Structures are given as C-alpha cells and as structure tokens.
C-alpha cells in the first residue's frame, strides 16, 4: 500500500529525529509522490550527508532532493590551506585510497577530488575519507575509473551471480544489460536500500565505468 504524502513526510521526520548525527529541528521536509525534499541549515557537510541518507532509508522514498545549506559554527571554520592539509593527510591514512593518484582542490571549504583509480570502491573511499573533516562545506568527486579490457557477457554473468548471492536483493525482479563498459539495471525493488545494494553489486564487477539505475521502487 502506497503511503500518503503526509505519512511519508512524518516518517522521514521521525527518521531524522531518530538519527543521532542529525539535528532534525533545523531541517524541513516535504513529500510528494515519493519524492522527498530536505531544506534548512546543518552544521557540517557530514550532517548534510547523514540527513540525506536517513531520508533514503525510509520505505516509500523514491528520490531525495537536497536543498540544505551548511552553516558552519565559528569554532569549525577553517581556511582552505588547513582543510587541504587535512584532506591530504586523510587520503594518505586511508588504506583503500591510492592517494598518489588523486589531486585535491579546496575553494571556500568546498573540496574537489580529481584523478584516476582502478576501482569504484577506491573512488568512494576517497570521498568517504574527507567528508567528515572539520570546515568542509561540500565535496565534488570527479575521480574517474581506469578500465581494463572487458567482455560484456562476462561482466553480466558476474553481476547476475552477485545479485543472486546478495541477501538484501530479490534478483528475480532485476534484469542486467551490459553495453561495453556500461551496466543498465531494469526491474523493481522494494526499497532504496535494495536499490543501493543492487548498484553496489553492479559497480563491483571489474571494468564497469557507468551504472544506469532504472530500477523502480515499488511496494
């Protein structure tokens, strides 16, 4: 049964209030046809990120629009040089990040990551490593993935197998198409979490550069 807009709004608000890393009192929530909008001010980029993902966890949410602004407390304000130094240290200390292949730019608290890595998890790890640093207002992850030569049929077989193994995914309702280095997911899932797990399985196959997620979230 599909939730009403009011019920979905209330569920998201309650999830934000339940999430300990988020101050829900300063976040506004709208809901219409499964699309949730978040507005208001947060005290860090980490809180902004946590709020979006808290909303995505709620059953019935199909998409989240993020209009929240990061308003740093005076105690957390850092100049770009300090942030850049912290970013470089964080990348160096993360075992999943090939930090020698990543370039960093910081502009008014906004971090831009560039470079080329071998796997999607390395691209994600680089962003995860810097997201929670003090003074950060946003992160643009422009890191690209270096691709080995791949056979589309082999990539599809590996992804199909991974989906069948995943406890959180009903593989029977998901179809996988592979065109060169692009994976296209079709079908339906029951939640945002299941959709994310299907994406993760697709990204984990070697040689995948793009994952087009056309999965529909249906009750």
Domains of the chain: 5-70 (3.30.1340.30), 74-145 (3.30.1340.30), 152-217 (3.30.1340.30)
Distance, in Å, from the CA atom of 184 to the CA atom of 190, rounded to the nearest integer, reads 18
pTM for the structure as a whole:
0.75
Q: How high is the mean pLDDT of the chain?
A: 92
**If you average pLDDT over residues 190-200, what whole number do you get?**
88
**If you average pLDDT over residues 186-211, what whole number do you get?**
88
Interval 143-174: pLDDT, tens: 998 876 667 888 889 888 988 888 788 888 99
**Residue 71: per-residue pLDDT:** 96
Distance, in Å, from the CA atom of 48 to the CA atom of 178, rounded to the nearest integer, reads 34
Interval 106-143: pLDDT, tens: 999 999 999 999 888 999 999 999 999 999 999 999 99
**Residue 82: per-residue pLDDT:** 97
CB 76 within 8 A of CB 133: no
Interval 51-92: pLDDT, tens: 999 999 999 999 999 999 999 999 999 999 999 999 999 999
């Amino acid at each position: 049964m599909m939730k009403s807009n009011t019920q979905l709004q209330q569920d998201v608000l309650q999830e934000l209030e339940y999430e300990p890393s988020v101050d829900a009192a300063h976040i506004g929530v709208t809901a219409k046809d499964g699309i949730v909008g978040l507005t208001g001010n947060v005290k860090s980029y980490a809180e902004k990120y946590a709020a979006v993902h808290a909303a995505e966890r709620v059953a019935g949410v199909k998409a989240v629009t993020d209009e929240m602004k990061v308003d740093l407390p005076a105690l957390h304000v850092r100049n770009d040089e300090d942030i850049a130094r912290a970013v470089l240290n964080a990348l160096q200390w993360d075992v999943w990040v090939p930090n020698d292949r990543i370039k960093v730019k910081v502009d008014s608290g906004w971090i831009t990551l560039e470079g080329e890595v071998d796997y999607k998890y390395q691209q994600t790890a680089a962003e995860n490593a810097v997201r929670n640093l003090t003074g950060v207002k946003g992160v643009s992850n422009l890191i690209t993935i270096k691709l080995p030569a791949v056979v589309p049929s082999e990539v599809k077989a590996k992804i199909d197998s991974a989906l069948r193994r995943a406890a959180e995914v009903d593989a029977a309702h998901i179809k996988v198409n592979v065109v060169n280095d692009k994976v296209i997911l079709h079908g339906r899932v029951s939640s945002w979490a299941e959709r994310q797990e299907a994406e993760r399985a697709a990204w984990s196959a070697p040689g995948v550069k793009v994952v087009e997620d056309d999965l529909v979230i249906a009750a």
